[in-house]
Chain A
Amino acid sequence: MFGQRLTRIIGPSLLVLSILLTGCTRSVGPMDWLGPVAGDQAEHQRWITWYLLYLGAAVFVFVEGWLLYSIIKFRRPLGPSVLPPQIHGHRTVEILWTVIPTLIVGAIAVPSVPAIFAFAQPPDEAGALRVEVLAHQWWWEFRYPDIVAGKTITVANELRIPVGRTVIATLSSADVIHSFWVPKLSGKVDVIPGRQKNQIWFNAREPGEYYGWCAEFCGTQHAQMRFRVKALAPAEFEAWVRARLSPPPEPQGAARQGYELFGARGCGGCHTVEGTPYQGKVGPNLTNIGERSTVAAGVLANDPDGRGLFRWIKNPQEVKPGAKMPNLGLSDADVGAIVAYLKTLK
């Protein structure tokens, strides 16, 4: 009879748990790292987590089952009670339930220790693509140093990488501590200001656009410090590098007017557009803003008609209160012209 009651409790709870867990095998969204992922490290982390979840579920069912069973079996709701046997302890069971958790801990440590060392050592160091990440309150700067003999590409908030190749990123911060995290590709590594430059490596097994997010609280707009990693086929990536190294097109028509305003309204004081006199270093480099999928550090879609850019430039403080970009009080016409110019930068 006790056995029956026990099954009545444990059976359904195992069922509910397994339904909950199988629910997680499909991808819930672009940040979900428990469903299908795209990087070697993320895959490794995913299966270790699944292993932990199953072990944890077993422990959960065992302990909670024992607890519930005891409550149901030994409760005395009413009436005068008899004194139960006064048991003070039992040496053998104490040893048993010290040894069993120790074994479980061992079973967890065994796969996790090699993984710690594997994650610390990038595979294929010689052939890896090296990038520098410089985190700012509240946006990301990415550099490809010496990508072609002596030439460096600088972009903001969107990192392009070739599929299949290991990427080694060196992380540094211009202000406070941030954390670099692209859940579909790998776990996170903190970005520390000062001399400690952390490294993270990752790769993408298939082409696609992966979400990145600052994962360490870094002040007012921490929540909107996002980025994207775009994995391209190797040939596409090479073409992109060549395009980046050539000067931007000469602005025409409305874009020409926007180009002038970009200087006249002071945008160029903070932002760089390569191949132009605008060489500001305070804000993101805008040389390829026209081809990025987002603006304002992954916050607004950079849609083809320029609505996202318009909304951002018109009033950045409405989109990201506290952001370092001020509201310049530009007229709609001026903003429109600047957007037209920026859209040509690809």
Chain B
Amino acid sequence: MKHPVGGSSFPGMEGLRATFEVRIHGRGGQGVVTAAELLSVAAFDEGRHAQAFPSFGSERTGAPVVSFCRFGDTPIRTREPIAEPDALIVQDPTLLHQVDLFSGLRPDGYLLINSGRDLAELGLAELGERFRPERLLSVPATELAREHLGRPLPNAALLGGFAALSGALRLDSVIAAIRERFGGEAGERNAAASAACFHHVEHELAGAVGA
């Protein structure tokens, strides 16, 4: 079994590295670990190999938490934490000033931040110079979660947003993973939040292209 070196052959993954790596930052209680697990299930549902794991800390509610997800066409053998992610999902914008969130993000990487404010308002305008600006986005995932779940749990919404921003996973597989995990009404509500965030990001991206 060879380590993947070439590009991916999966639809929508052309041009991406053979193993796509996502790092998720948030706080204990926000579903950071669950989010990475859901991504791995969505990738698995698409027939890919996937691996998700938490930052193995003694997680406490409110403490910074990191989780990781890798997926690709070939078996994933490495077990190391993701140091150079292809995508970053930031579930809690208050981490911006506490943790080195952008460490190792690839120059062509994707960034999705949960915030109702845009990157300039968050004081992150300079990121547009280091990374491809059309791949950096903030979304009001907590507001979308409040609207659809009645609770400020942004993880499912952000996964829909990630699918739209990166194109690395399909919305239907993300939603199937969410439904399978939460089940019943909670599953439907989280799925709705995820779809709403997907469309929000699609709309934002269309606006960016049009501008």
A binds B: no
